[in-house]
């Protein structure tokens, strides 16, 4: 295991232990996952949190402003800790690892699902069942609303990708038409 992986695992384990001790493992894990995905897609946010010229107090204020009532105080404090330790650049990877560790503790694997719209409880339940059958694993669904997805969903379970988007279906149809 590379040094970088050990650092990520160490931080993820520590964050999960704190969340568990606070009795907020599920909430914190979910909030960290969502924040990690936000960070992954926002270069401006990543730049602000990793800017050495920006004082830690300003970074904390940015996190407070951004998350406010949308996250538990535990999540916000954990994010502040990681940022203050100079690990904001790896925060999305750390957050993803927290989700993986939490899922492992529940004897499940994380399925990251991207959809243009939020999924109903019934859609989530059906998708969880389909992915469980396809992978022969217990699934923990993490849904990310992504406007880049025109229609349908893309699901990633470990290294497996299940692409049921309209764009992919259209491309496949275009290829079939072009080859006939």
Q: List, for residues 37-83, the tens digit of each pLDDT value.
A: 888 888 999 999 999 999 999 999 999 999 988 999 999 999 999 99
- Tell me the backbone φ, ψ of residue 165, rounded to 5 degrees: -85, 155
**Residue-averaged pLDDT of the chain:** 90
Rounded CA-CA distance 154/38 in Å is 17
Output the six-digit token pair for 116.
Answer: 């243009």
Q: What's the whole-number mean pLDDT along residues 129-141? A: 91
Confidence band for 1, pLDDT divided at 50, 70 and 90: low
pLDDT score, position 171: 80
Looking at the predicted structure, is the pLDDT value of residue 146 above 90? Answer: no
Classify domain 108-178 by CATH architecture.
3-Layer(aba) Sandwich (3.40)
Residue 180 has pLDDT above 80, yes or no: no
DSSP assigned state of 117: S
Does pLDDT of 163 surpass 90?
no
Token readout for 32 is: 């960290």
According to CATH, the topology of domain 3-103 is Peroxidase; domain 1 (1.10.520)
Give percent above pLDDT 70 in the chain.
98
Extents of the domains making up the chain: 3-103, 108-178
Element (H, E) at 163: strand 160-163
User: With the C-alpha atoms ordered 113, 24, 94, 3, is the resulting torsion angle positive or negative?
Assistant: negative
Which two tokens mark 135? 């992978």
Decide: 176 and 148 in contact? Cβ < 8 Å: no
| Max CA separation in the chain (angstroms) | 63
Please count the helices (runs of H) and the strands (runs of E) in the chain. Answer: 8, 4
Question: What predicted TM-score, i.e. pTM, was given to this entire model?
Answer: 0.73
CA dist 131 and 156 (Å) reads 10
Going by the DSSP 8-state scheme, the letter that residue 23 receives in this structure is T
Instruction: Kindly tell me if the per-residue pLDDT of 173 is higher than 80.
Output: no
pLDDT at residue 24 above 80?
A: yes
């Amino acid at each position: 295991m590379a040094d970088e992986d050990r650092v990520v695992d160490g931080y993820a384990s520590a964050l999960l232990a704190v969340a568990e001790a606070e009795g907020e493992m599920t909430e914190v894990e979910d909030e960290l996952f969502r924040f990690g995905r936000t960070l992954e897609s926002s270069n401006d946010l990543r730049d602000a949190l990793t800017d050495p010229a920006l004082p830690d107090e300003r970074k904390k204020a940015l996190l407070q402003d951004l998350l406010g009532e949308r996250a538990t105080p535990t999540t916000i404090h954990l994010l502040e800790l990681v940022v203050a330790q100079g690990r904001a650049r790896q925060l999305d990877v750390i957050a993803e690892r927290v989700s993986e560790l939490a899922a492992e503790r529940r004897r499940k694997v994380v399925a990251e699902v991207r959809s243009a719209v939020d999924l109903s409880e019934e859609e989530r339940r059906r998708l969880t069942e389909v992915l469980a059958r396809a992978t022969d694993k217990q699934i923990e669904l993490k849904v990310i609303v992504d406007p880049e997805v025109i229609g349908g969903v893309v699901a990633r379970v470990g290294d497996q990708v299940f692409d049921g988007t309209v764009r992919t279906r259209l491309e496949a149809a275009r290829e079939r038409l072009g080859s006939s």
